[in-house]
Amino acid sequence: MTDHRDCEQPAVLTIAGFDPSGGAGIIADVKTFQAFGCRPLAAVTSLTFQNSQGVFGAIHQSAESLRSQVLPIIEEIPIAAVKIGMLPTRSSWQSPDSCVK
């Protein structure tokens, strides 16, 4: 069931890494979008291994995986804005033709 309150909020998509400590990346973006009354949407570029003291590694998504996350969202939901954060490789952003038509 759709929450009709979400339809009234502008949808904002973050394309960013996941920081499990919550200090950056998608978690921080979601909190910010909500503070401004926006509906947060997200696509994960990387899973990082970190805490407040440092970054200890990461696993990066392929460009294909990122597109596979974004396409269903943009096909269904009108996006008011996109915030792009961590893009680990050039191929993550190099082929915009395959994402938006």
CA dist., res. 94 & res. 39, Å (int): 27
User: Please, what are the domains in the chain?
Assistant: 12-95 (3.40.1190.20)
- Arithmetic mean of pLDDT over the chain: 86
Instruction: Report the candidate in 66, 70, 57 with the shortest Cα–Cα distance to residue 87.
Output: 66
Structure tokens of 21? 């400590």
Average pLDDT of 5-17?
86
What is the rounded distance in angstroms from the CA atom of residue 20 to the CA atom of residue 48? 7
pLDDT value at position 14?
97
When pLDDT is cut at 50, 70 and 90, the band that residue 88 belongs to is confident
User: Could you read off the pLDDT of 19-30 as tens digits, one per residue?
Assistant: 999 999 999 999
* pLDDT tens digits along 57-87: 999 999 999 999 999 999 999 999 999 998 8
In angstroms and rounded to an integer, the radius of gyration of the C-alpha atoms of the chain is 14
